[in-house]
Amino acid sequence: MTDVLLLHGGVGSDSTINPKLDGFASEAFNGDSLDSAVMAVSLMEDDESFNAGTGSVMRIDGSIQMDASVMVPGKFGAVISIERVRNPIIVAREVMEKSPHVIIAGDGATRFARMMGHQDYDPSTEKARMRLQKVLEELKGHPSDEERSRLFMLSISREAHDTVGAVARIGGMFAAAVSTGGSSPMMRGRVGDCPIPGSGIFAGENGAVVATGIGEEIIRRHLCFSIYSRIGKEPLQKIMDEEISKFGAIAVGAIAVSRDEFAHSANKDMATGFHLR
């Protein structure tokens, strides 16, 4: 059985950066599936061209709240709306391995990160500030509160909610990791699919899956579990293409590994990278 680490840079990301993701996969790959997946995602969190960690988009109030989760068969850990940390994915792993909990949210997640030794860190960038300013200017042009609200919800519905993720099969063991800065614009406290097991992430004895795209729709349709539940019944690529096609024009994508296959599928461009050994 070939070992594999497979990454994505978010649905809507430019596939011309595939070589960069190949490099991240090669750098992160080691003898442990969870170590490899978490390291790959942390490398993407540190690259401000991705919407996760440094480079995360701002909420409508100017804050940055990030979500991340990790999963291996029988274990899960996540942080929701964590603030002012460099690598939410590492904190999510610590929730799974070093706390009695499964999910920690909000200021509790940030406090837990400080307990684990994570220093205060500002993930904001000029790109994120300019993106928020553009959104606010667009909303200002419509004096009616009702119209502003309508445009706000419309922009959420059509915005690709970028996520970065990784799945691994190493030594016959599966792992998945996913991290996001959310979408822009969005309300403070909004939670997408990233930290919801079965929606944005799933790993079990038969494989691992992570998703990217419009989080609300991914949650409603349990995309990752829908893919996982069919693993072994048909070719993995066929399963993924069929599940993604059910979303129509709603931007979604996913990557997955099974015992003897790996595949990715998206209905928009999506950067991917992988390393085999």
Catalytic residue among 163, 180, 212, 272: 163
Tell me the C-alpha distance between 85 and 46, whole Å: 11
User: In the β-sheet with 75-82, what is the strand arrangement from edge to edge?
Assistant: 103-105, 75-82, 66-72, 173-180, 164-170, 4-11, 270-276
75 within 8 A of 95, measured Cβ to Cβ: no
Nearest to 206 by CA among 268, 134, 258, 273: 258
14 within 8 A of 272, measured Cβ to Cβ: no
Is 212 tagged catalytic?
no
Which residues partner with 105 through β-bridges? Answer: 80
AA letter at 256: A
Tell me the C-alpha distance between 145 and 245, whole Å: 36
248 within 8 A of 226, measured Cβ to Cβ: no
Nearest to 188 by CA among 141, 132, 127: 132
Radius of gyration of the chain (CA): 18
32, with CB counted inside 10 A (0-12, 13-18, 19+), is middle
Tell me the C-alpha distance between 258 and 249, whole Å: 27
Tell me the C-alpha distance between 157 and 67, whole Å: 19
Catalytic site positions: 163
